[in-house]
Amino acid sequence: MFMEKLVRETERLSLICSMLDTMRRADRDRNARGWTSPIGLLKMTRSCATISELATSIAKAGYRECDRQTLEEILSETRQVLYSLQAEFAS
C-alpha cells in the first residue's frame, strides 16, 4: 500500500518537474512558468513532503514493501529536488 502511493507520488513529482511540462506552460517569449511559479514551487514542495512521509512509513514498517537501497535513492533524489528549489528561491 505505501509503496504504491510512493510510486504514484514520485511519478507526480517527475511530471511536475518534466521539461515538456515546463515548455508547455511557457509564455509566448518561451519563459518557463511551470515549476518556477509560486504555485509550482508549492506543488513540488508538497510532493516532496508526501514522498518523505511515505518513505518514513515504509521505513517504520521494516522495509517490507521496498528494499532499503531503492528507498534511499528515492529520498536522495527528493532531497536534490528540494535543494534545487532552495537555490531557485534564494536567487
pLDDT tens-digit profile, the chain (91 residues): 677 888 888 888 887 777 656 666 666 776 666 666 677 778 888 888 998 888 888 888 776 656 778 888 888 888 888 887 777 666 6
**Whole-number Cα distances in Å, 12 to 31, 40, 51, 83, 91:** 23, 12, 10, 18, 26
Identify the pLDDT of residue 4.
83
Identify the pLDDT of residue 46.
87
Identify the pLDDT of residue 81.
84
The model carries a pTM of 0.70
Identify the pLDDT of residue 8.
87
Identify the pLDDT of residue 82.
84
